[in-house]
Amino acid sequence: SQSLQGAIQTIAHYHPYKISTRILTVPRSTLDSQQQSATAGMSQRWNSNRSSSNGRMRNAAVPLTKFEAEQLEHGEFQCALDAEFVVLEDARMEVFSDGTRQVHRPAVHGLARLSAVRANGSDLHGVPFIDDYVAISRPVFDLATQYSGIHAGDLTVGVSPYKLSTMKEVYKKLRLLIDSNCIIIGHGLKHDFRVCNIVVPLHLQKDTMLLYQSPSHIRPVSLRFLYWYFSRKSIQTREHSSVEDAQATLKVYESYVQCVAEGKSVETVLDDIYAVGSSMSWKLPDQKI
């Protein structure tokens, strides 16, 4: 009824729902007990060998300190974020006799991993405080391992060598950051937020894909190339890692901030980036992917 709806709106206005920073200082998942019970009778050798033999790490997050939680509550916190996705459903398209294609429905992606690293200049600068693998119960069309770093079983409760979270839990962490006016640094944030089904005010976004987008050049510059340009180091040499990509994005963003602070022309820097990229055919010396 209208009276009930009015009462709900009044309560929401005077007593707004607020997500506690506890989900980032003492992170727990509703799946923890399920994973423990599912693996109670299983040998742990398979998981430990699997995670160590290929060099991949378990969840890398270090919870926020009390001071950092207070910074977040007061709108004085910023972070760099990256996400990895899997393909839940392939694109539906029609191929005509002349070879042309018409896409009737684009591919459906699902969030597989979300990582966020600190960007406040503290002793923990660049250290992840979110590194969540998202449990997926529905069939996955393509893990896209080369680009997501996700392997078979990584998102399955009772099998995964990682601590899993639900999509709802990951969403609440993102919601907390946004509601706390946390500045979020990323590369291609529009796509990340769209798949996560969350709206983020533009003033909270620092997207390096847009910051390094030149009006005189059409080609967008990849995170991998930008990071190499500023550090002469490579990322994504084997598989993608959202922690590594978030840290690389932070480095690229800090280079932009330094450029502006020193009064350098961003357009001049962009011209040099495109000149170097063109001379290398946009391929790095050790590029495999």
Bridge-partner residues for 87, per DSSP?
A: 109, 142
Q: How many Å separate Cα 184 from the centre of its chain? A: 10
Do 33 and 166 meet the contact criterion of CB atoms below 8 Å apart?
A: no
Identify the H or E element spanning 259.
helix 242-261
Do 81 and 186 meet the contact criterion of CB atoms below 8 Å apart?
A: yes
Q: What is the structure's pLDDT at 39?
A: 43
Q: CA-CA distance, 196 to 91, in Å (whole number)?
A: 19
Q: What is the domain partition of the chain in residue ranges?
A: 23-42+51-93+102-279
Q: What is the structure's pLDDT at 285?
A: 79
Return the CATH number of the domain spanning residue range 23-42+51-93+102-279.
3.30.420.10
Q: CA-CA distance, 223 to 287, in Å (whole number)?
A: 13
Share of the chain above pLDDT 90, in %: 57
Q: CA-CA distance, 101 to 134, in Å (whole number)?
A: 33
pLDDT digits (tens, 9 = 90+) for 73-125: 999 999 999 999 999 988 777 777 777 877 777 888 999 999 999 999 889 99
pTM above 0.75, yes or no: yes
pLDDT digits (tens, 9 = 90+) for 135-185: 998 899 989 888 888 999 999 998 999 999 999 999 999 999 999 999 999
Q: What is the structure's pLDDT at 59?
A: 82
| 10 pLDDT higher than 70 | no
DSSP label at residue 92: E
DSSP label at residue 203: G
